[in-house]
Structure 1
Amino acid sequence: MLDRRHFVIAAAAAASLPMALAKGQVTDPDESMPVEFSLNMSTIRGQNLSVPDQIEVAAKAGYDSVEPWVRDLEKFVADGGTLADVKKQIEDAGMTVASAIGFANWIVDDDAARAAALETAKKEMEMVRSIGGVRIAAPPVGAHTATSVSPPLETIARRYHALLEVGREMGVTPQLELWGFSPTLSKLGELSYVSTAAAHPDACVLPDFYHIYKGGNDFDSLGMIEASRMHCFHINDYPATPGIAEIADKDRVFPGDGVCELPKIIRGLIDHGFQGTFSLELFNPTYWQRDALEVAVEGLEKSKRVVAQAMQLPSTEV
């Protein structure tokens, strides 16, 4: 478990927040916030914390919710842990489960492999439900490599519909996730088409600022996606270099530390009705070398700052 030093870190960071926000010329970040904030555990993945310690970091940093990885939950259970204890820890901390990260190959062409993947999805969803979660990411795993040939969008939509049916049975909704580096579902237009063509009441999408950029999308396209279909949105930023062809997951930085026009984009999202959760998802090895709580606190501070800046911009509504 985390020691007294981490309480001091969290307290000091919290005390410095108003000053940091003042430098950005914004108001109290908690004033009239229309969104919530979650910690995706990739952000502190390199510290190799146990699931209980991951949750403790998120709670002490002040997040509203967590976004765990199913792989971490599986390891926790294999090592003798119980998911009921994880659920209680999250609830006792006053948090919820915004989403979870799973990797079932629901999109693959091979019928037998896809059937097996739906069974994997059931198991992953059961774990998520056991800790109080109701959503899980559904990335295009299995059709995401450079040599992959993307199935037709209509075919992907049928497969997503099948996954949504599994989700309805399990009580956990799979969110169609954008992966900018993938030949499949790297475009917002593809995400929108598949989620619409799936023709399912639970269809929803999981965008990501970095992946939108990596996929060569225009952020204005977000306005074409119904806000109520975006429950969770991965928040991050990216530098000007390396360029779009070379930039990778590891290059993501804290919100506001890169070149993405986050306040402007977020203002547009909010004006279109977005009231979901911004989940901080980073894979930066530099952050992994730091204290996990320090990283979590800084990430939350900077996430709130860009949202507060967005709220001060003029409305984008005509």
Structure 2
Amino acid sequence: MRRAQLTINSVSTRHGGLEEALDAYANAGFTLVEFVLPQLKAYIAQGHTLDDTRALLARYNLQAIGGFETAIICFGSPEQQRANHDLLLNNARLIHELGGGTMVIGTDGPEQVTSDTLPIIAENVRDLARGMEGLQVAIAVEFNWSPVIKSLHSAVQVVQQVAHPQVGILFDPAHYYTTVTKFEHLTTEIVPLIKHVHLNDMRDKPGDLSNCNSDRVLPGQGVLDLRAIIARLEEFGYHGLYSIEMFNEDLWQLPAAQAAAQCYQSLLPLCSD
């Protein structure tokens, strides 16, 4: 992993507005930012244009590389599904207008899981991807952000069934640690399906007793062998971005500039340059 691949997910800090966040990220050393998309949309809703947003990013020498907002609805009413899919398509267009990147999504599930559940999810994700053709945006399905897709292997099954070049997997060490996913599951067949990677460490607690969000700590402060995970991903062909994504109350209590600096500094020992 190199410094040029380092990204910060804007959920990692608490800030009063977009300008404060971008100033914090740039001063910390980041050049790439992954957005909680409602934060971007709130800035635009205040009367700013897409050109204003691009100019603000340029002022801080930052590049937007995508973001997330919500899961795809595959089992709701037709009205719910239509509204949700329109929201996701509009989010993809926003990402595209800001330079392209990756849209991370979770998935919903039915009241009772059957053999048809994963194919139904795959069909809905495929339809979404087809609607995004022509946009410079990939979909990354996040395992464990779902009542059904609870492991890397179930995400693999869905992505393989989707069979669309703009669809892959979001790999997150927190979900790796708290699900049945194992290091040996990162194989030459599976790693090429990974579109995007989040980075974090986990507290010294058993994975099955850990919370995949609130038990995250900064890289180097937990029990995960992140060096080995990164090396495995790179060995089998992953050359994409690494976005630190923290849901950590201690970080959220800090000023955005201090929290962003801690995030960036925690990643440097993992870099080869």
Deviations 1:231-281 (A, max 9, x none): 320000101236523424122100111001111111111111211111010
User: Aligned pair in 2 of structure 1 residues 226, 242: CA closer, same or farther (>3 Å)?
Assistant: closer
Q: State yes or no: 1:36 paired with 2:5.
A: yes
Deviation digits for residues 21-80 of structure 1, max 9, x if unmatched?
Answer: xxxxxxxxxxx8286010101110xx2331222122111111131001111112112222
**SS in structure 2 of the partner of residue 53 of structure 1:** helix
TM-score w.r.t. the length of structure 1 is: 0.78
Instruction: Indicate yes or no: 2:267 matched with 1:299.
Output: no
Q: Number of residue pairs matched?
A: 271
Match of 1:74 among 35, 41, 59: 41
Report what 1:138 is aligned to: 105
TM-score, normalised to structure 2's length?
Answer: 0.89
**SS of structure 2 residue aligned to 1:298:** helix
Describe the shift of the 1:185–1:225 C-alpha distance in structure 2 as closer, same or farther (beyond 3 A). farther
Q: Compute the displacement of 1:85 (Å).
A: 1.7
Residue 139 of structure 2: SS of its match in structure 1? strand
What is the rounded CA distance, in whole Å, between the counterparts of 1:225 and 1:88 in structure 2? 41
Which runs of 5 or more residues in structure 2 are unaligned?
A: none
Q: CA deviation at 1:92?
A: 4.0
How far off its partner does 1:125 sit? 1.7
Residue among 195, 201, 208 paired with 1:244:
208
Change beyond 3 A, Cα 1:225–1:72: farther
After superposition, the C-alpha distances for 1:174-216 in whole angstroms (9 at most, x for unaligned) are 2111226x43212111111111111212221111000111222
Distance 1:149 1:87 in 2: 44
3-state SS of 1:124 partner: helix
**Aligned partner (choices 34, 53, 56) of residue 89 of structure 1:** 56
- The alpha-carbon deviation at position 160 of structure 1 amounts to 1.1
Distance in 2 separating the partners of 1:74 and 1:171: 19
2:15/2:256 contact within 8 Å kept: no
Say which structure is richer in strand. 2
Q: 1:3-27 deviations in whole A, cap 9, x for unaligned? A: xxxxxxxxxxxxxxxxxxxxxxxxx
Q: Which residue of 2 aligns with 1:285?
A: 249
1:172 and 2:137 matched: yes
**How far did 1:103 drift?**
1.0
Q: Using a 3 Å threshold, how does the CA distance of structure 1 residues 88 and 133 change in structure 2: closer, same or farther? A: farther
1: CA distance, partners of 2:160 / 2:45: 38
**Correspondence for 1:214 among 152, 162, 178:** 178
Contact 2:100 2:135 in 1 (8 A): no
CA contact (8 A) 1:70 1:102 kept: yes
Counterpart residue number, 1:113: 80
Query: 2:239 is paired with a residue of what secondary structure?
Result: coil
- State the match for 2:225 in structure 1: 261
Structure 1 letter corresponding to 2:17 = S
Kept after mapping to 1: 8 A contact 2:89/2:128: no
Deviation at 1:112, TM superposition (A): 3.0
Structure 1 outlier segments of 4+, above 6 Å = none
Query: Unpaired segments of 5 or more residues in structure 1?
Result: 1-31, 312-318
Relative to structure 1, the CA distance from residue 225 to residue 280 in structure 2 (aligned partners, 3 Å threshold; closer, same or farther) is farther
Question: 1:279-312: per-residue Cα shift (whole Å, max 9, x none)?
Answer: 010011111111211221121121121344xx9x
| Residue identity matched to 1:39 | I
Change over 3 Å in CA distance of 1:84–1:227 after alignment to 2: farther
Partner of 1:274: 238
Cα distance in structure 2, aligned partners of 1:95 and 1:253: 25
- Contact 2:28–2:261 under 8 Å retained in 1: yes
Cα deviation 1:116-152 (Å, max 9, x = unaligned): 2111112212222232233211111x33xxx954462
Q: Distance in 1 between matches of 2:203 and 2:4?
A: 25
> Aligned to 1:201, which of 165, 168, 175?
165
CA contact under 8 A between 1:104 and 1:118: conserved in structure 2? no
Deviation of 1:226 after TM superposition, in Å, equals: 4.6
1:52 aligns with 2:19: yes
Q: Deviations over 1:158-185 (max 9, x none)?
A: 11111111221544222111226x4321
Is 2:20–2:256's contact at 8 Å kept on the other side of the alignment? no
CA distance in 1, matches of 2:241, 2:265: 15
- 8 Å contact 2:156–2:190 — kept in the other structure? no
